[in-house]
Chain A
Amino acid sequence: MSTLYQAMPLWVLLISLVTAVAVFIAGEKWQRLRTAFNLSGAVLKLVLVAIMLWGVDLGHTFVVHLPLLPGLNLVLQADALALLFMSLSAVLWLVTTVYAIAYLERAPDRARFFGFFSLCVTATMGIAMAGNLFTFFVFYELLTLATWPLVIHRGTDKVMVAGRTYLHYTLGGGAVFLLGIVLLYHLAGPTDFVAGGELLHLGEDHAGALTAIFVLLIIGVGVKAAIVPLHGWLPTAMVAPAPVSALLHAVAVVKAGAFGIVRVVHDVYGVELVQQLHLGTALAVVASITIIYGSLRAIWQTDLKRRLAFSTVSQVSYVALGVAMGSPLATIGGLVHLVHQGLMKITLFFCAGAYAETYGIHAIRELDGIGRRMPWTTAMFTLGAFGMIGVPPLAGFISKWYLGLGAVDAHQYWVIPVLLGSTVLNAIYFLPLLHRAWFRPLAITDKDRGEAHPGLLWPTVFTGLSAMGVGLLAAFAWSPLGWVELIVVREYGL
């Protein structure tokens, strides 16, 4: 294999970085050029990720090392798990770019928006491909820095307050995470991500220290994963423009946190050590509390985006729950939810953005009868909502099914009521929305402008149908489920 081919992680990273720089340089005036940069960057990235998927499937390894200090390397690698997250981001980046171009058609400061948007994707790719905790942290903090300008994009006083809250949480979490990493490096030396971890031999002598470090690390990534009680920033950050809420707060940022939990549990500590230290059950309990609490809070939200935000709080913890139980089947459920939740939630946020942009709908009561004006958007919203509830054969059902199987497999029977309870709560906060949209008389009095702008509608239809497709076609080897099974076989060495 040539060096250039092995260095694929670097090229994937540079594509978005170069796009970001090119967009900044193109600036406000050269709109067409900027759009061309944006779209070609996103497409090129998708092609590169597809090549890597094919390579990893064949068993090729992709690694790039940059030594910084003795024993401290910046490592980019692409294993099957990394590619799961990368494919999700690459596909959704392209879709969201199309959506955002239409959404911000006449808004000011678009160059700044798309520049930082590309920078966020760079950071997300880096998080996915990080080969050790140090590298992970570098991109994790870059993600914080690159999302802040997007959260405060509108620049009003209210938005600035939300931006401050966002920074308090994320920078605080980052500091705790850094402390955990430094302590771990001090205890165990620098270790790369390896399936099963490399810390097992320290388990007996340093149980206390390892437990403390685990807690620090999980708090660090838990802030972005919005684990209760570290979730406060997420609903507040909904002041951001819709594409930001859709891609970043439904997918990139929260998933970066969830992905961090997967890496810490699987590739730093290893499932065996986590179970030995009794940390798995603790994490599962925290995740369960988050799942129930997020759903309960969602019921009482009157703002559409805030309800979806609390739903995200709840749903992202499925990933943590699946990973924490320590059974291969539960892990499959958790990891596949990384993709499934992403597709479903981005559809819902796209719809929310389309409602807001077309008829100025923000509050839930304004949704009454909107299904007649915007049937396609509302149909996709319905697909997303049913998927979230877990109606078979949609994506959400597959995740919950495997989580349930895993709970039985791991003898954690208490998880099953949590899953059932969450399903009931999901139905309680989603079904009234659907009832309003389809069956109530029209609430808004604006003149009929018909469906959303095609640039808003088509990405929504694409993600909505994908969310259905990954559920229907789950049995195929190239579905997310098939890929996740490959990951789990490699992680558990089955």
Chain B
Amino acid sequence: MTEFLPVLAVFIPLLGGVLQFLMGPRAVPVWPMVVSGATTVCALALVGSVTNQGDIQHMLGGWEAPLGIPLRVDGLAAVMLLLNNVVGGLVSLYALGAHGRSGAVNSHFWALWLLLWGSLNALFVSGDLFNLYVALELVSLSAIPLVLVAGPRKTVAAALNYLHFALFGSLVYLAGVGLTYAVAGSLDLTLIAGPLAEGGPAGHMAAACLIVGVLIKAAIVPFHIWLPAAHGNAPAAVSAVLSALVVKSCMYLLLRLWTEPLAGITVDAAAQLLGIIGAAAIGYGSVQAFRQERLKLVVAYSTVAQLGYMLLFFPMAVATAWEGAVYHGVAHGVAKAALFLAAGNVLLYVGHDRLRELRGLDRPLALSVFAFALAGVSIMGLPPSGGFIAKWLLLSAALETGQWWWALVLIVGGFLAAAYIFRVLRYAFLNAPGPTIEIEGPVPPRLMSWTALLLGVLSIVLGFTTAPILGLLGGLPGAAP
């Protein structure tokens, strides 16, 4: 049974999404909720069995490599599955409030979201380069139309821009896959490390293509320009998924590739370059977030910045940095979902999200403002929160490796994050004459407020659950225990 869990975690939402397309609006909201529940249960059972019994391998259809399709769930994949399905489940609950009525647009939303969920799970359990490529494409192709659910006029340009970058990234990545196959004769992650390392220039070219392709898809500076518009204009549930999970899945891929198949050929200069890019992302994204006039754009630029922290793993490359980078991914995923859902509630109530006009929100929207504040604590890296633990680990790694300048980046990054988070909270608490909310919309349903708050609370709780999650993750691959 256990070895089928990866299959179930992938195919339940994929088939569920396809069936949703076929059944149309009348299946909303019962069918999507059933599929969401089943997916979450299967995926969490999978994570549980990895916790208890260690890594899971499964050859799809019983064919052995190199012919078969290997599915593999190790510590890193299990942690990402945990993030993906907890956040995914909660976003589904939120969406029950936002997209729970039947209607063509809502039907499309659920179909695409379930497809996206399944593709993300597929990405995490894939064990070879080509499957990873297929899953990565499925993720992009279901994520981009989701942006359009907000309504055609607002988001067409953003979605098109997203599409261009995603396709370009895919092409580069696919070139890398092709080169790898030419060099190594296989695409199984466990079989290609050696041949790539001995492959000379072609091997290096393959590695470079794989990395750059993923960087483009992960919206790392300078390839970030599509992200703010897409994440900032999509409906709240979609923004949350895109920022918390989709870009995170690309970062997962980067960590996976770097530490396993490319471990033999990566050079220190490339690692340092990735670190510098990360630092640039932190600085640029945070400053931009501070300068935005719209709430959702603040949150979107914050994602550009926060992804940079995960890149700091590469120049340090010790076990502490590994744990810090992955934990940052988890903490940021939970916190960012909370921020976007809270912002969605604001948008629902006020009708717009122009910061200067959002005054005194703490009274009508207390739960959402509180959710925003709790998640903000994690984004700023202040204790007690998951973001703080990640920052602590990365700081320790910086000192451990003697690269103290990354410690400065982390500290300055924390200040910049505090600047943009408190700027939002300041407006929310402001009780002074000025532009006021003209037409008050509906107060968000309880379901939408409480899911946002629950994610906010989770991002604080992550400050205390370090031991089990890092135990599940395990050490840096390839390093001596």
List residues of A whose CB falls within 8 A of some B CB: 24, 27, 66-69, 72, 74, 109, 112, 137-138, 141-142, 144-145, 148-149, 152, 154-157, 160, 163-164, 167, 171-172, 174-175, 178-179, 182-183, 185-186
Contact = CB atoms under 8 A, between A and B. Distances in A.
Contacts of B362: 109, 112
Nearest to B380: A171
17 contacts: A67-B467, A68-B389, A68-B464, A112-B362, A138-B384, A148-B422, A149-B429, A152-B426, A156-B432, A157-B430, A157-B432, A167-B422, A175-B411, A182-B392, A182-B399, A185-B396, A186-B399
Given A156-B431, A157-B432, A174-B382, A68 B426 contact: no
A178 B383 CA distance: 11
A155 B382 contact: no
Contact of A154 (B377, B431, B464): B431
A481 B411 CA distance: 41
B142 interface: no
A144 B377 CA distance: 11
B293 interface: no
Looking at chain B's contact residues, the main secondary structure is helix
A183 B399 contact: yes
Given A137-B383, A142-B384, A179 B432 contact: no
A44 B466 CA distance: 31
Interface of B: 323, 360, 362-363, 366, 370, 377, 382-384, 388-389, 392-393, 395-396, 399-400, 407, 411, 414-415, 418, 422, 426, 429-432, 463-464, 466-467, 470
Given A167-B418, A178-B411, A186-B396, A155 B432 contact: yes
A69 B432 contact: no
Given A137-B383, A138-B383, 15 more contacts: A66-B464, A144-B382, A145-B382, A154-B431, A155-B429, A157-B430, A160-B432, A167-B422, A175-B415, A179-B395, A179-B411, A182-B395, A182-B407, A183-B399, A186-B399
A164 B418 CA distance: 11
A69 B393 contact: yes
B74 to A, nearest CB: 20
Contacts, number: 79
A178 B395 contact: yes
Contacts of B360: 155
A152 to B, nearest CB: 6
Contact of B400 (A109, A149, A174, A186): A186
Nearest to A157: B432
Contacts of B395: 178-179, 182
Looking at chain A's contact residues, the main secondary structure is helix
Across the A-B interface, give the 5 residue pairs with the lowest CB-CB distance, nearest first. Answer: A155-B431, A138-B383, A186-B399, A68-B466, A182-B395
A155 B429 CA distance: 6
Nearest to B466: A68
A74 B464 CA distance: 9
A2 to B, nearest CB: 24
A72 B396 CA distance: 12
A186 B366 CA distance: 41
A163 B426 contact: yes
Contacts of B415: 171-172, 175
A376 B422 CA distance: 42
A149 B393 CA distance: 29
B383 to A, nearest CB: 4
Nearest to B395: A182
Contacts of A149: 429
Contacts of B363: 109
Contacts of B466: 68-69
Interface centre among A69, A144, A152 (most CB of B within 10 A): A69
A178 B396 CA distance: 11
A428 to B, nearest CB: 38
A66 B384 CA distance: 13
Contact of A69 (B388, B411, B470): B470
A171 B418 contact: yes
Contacts of B383: 137-138, 141-142
A414 to B, nearest CB: 37
B255 to A, nearest CB: 19
Contacts of A179: 395, 407, 411
A72 B411 CA distance: 20
A418 B395 CA distance: 41
A141 B382 contact: yes
A174 to B, nearest CB: 7
Given A142-B384, A182-B392, A68 B467 contact: yes
Given A156-B432, A160-B426, A69 B467 contact: yes
Nearest to A171: B418
Nearest to A152: B429
Contacts of A160: 426, 429-430, 432
B363 to A, nearest CB: 7
Contacts of A178: 395, 411
Given A67-B467, A174-B382, A182-B407, A155 B430 contact: yes
A149 B373 CA distance: 11
B359 to A, nearest CB: 9
A167 B376 CA distance: 15
Contacts of A167: 418, 422
Contacts of A27: 366
Contacts of B414: 175
A186 B404 CA distance: 12
Contacts of B470: 69
A311 B75 CA distance: 56
A279 B426 CA distance: 40
B405 to A, nearest CB: 13
Contacts of B418: 167, 171
Given A74-B464, A138-B384, A160-B426, A145 B377 contact: yes
A106 to B, nearest CB: 16
A154 B411 CA distance: 31
B428 to A, nearest CB: 10
A112 to B, nearest CB: 7
A270 to B, nearest CB: 23
Contacts of B323: 69
A157 B432 CA distance: 6
Nearest to A111: B366
Contacts of A141: 382-383, 388
Contacts of A186: 396, 399-400
A167 B418 CA distance: 9
B469 to A, nearest CB: 10
Interface centre among A68, A72, A157 (most CB of B within 10 A): A68
Nearest to B422: A167
Nearest to A67: B467
Contacts of A156: 431-432
A171 B426 CA distance: 16
A181 B246 CA distance: 35
Contacts of B389: 68-69
B392 to A, nearest CB: 7
Interface centre among A138, A164, A172 (most CB of B within 10 A): A138
Contacts of B430: 155, 157, 160
A221 B388 CA distance: 19
B344 to A, nearest CB: 22
A132 B384 CA distance: 15
Contacts of A163: 426
Contacts of A109: 362-363
Nearest to A174: B382
A142 B430 CA distance: 22
A206 B393 CA distance: 24
A163 B425 CA distance: 11
Contacts of A74: 464
A149 B463 CA distance: 22
A175 B409 CA distance: 12
Contacts of B396: 182, 185-186
Contacts of A182: 392, 395-396, 399, 407
Contacts of B463: 138
Interface centre among B383, B415, B467 (most CB of A within 10 A): B383
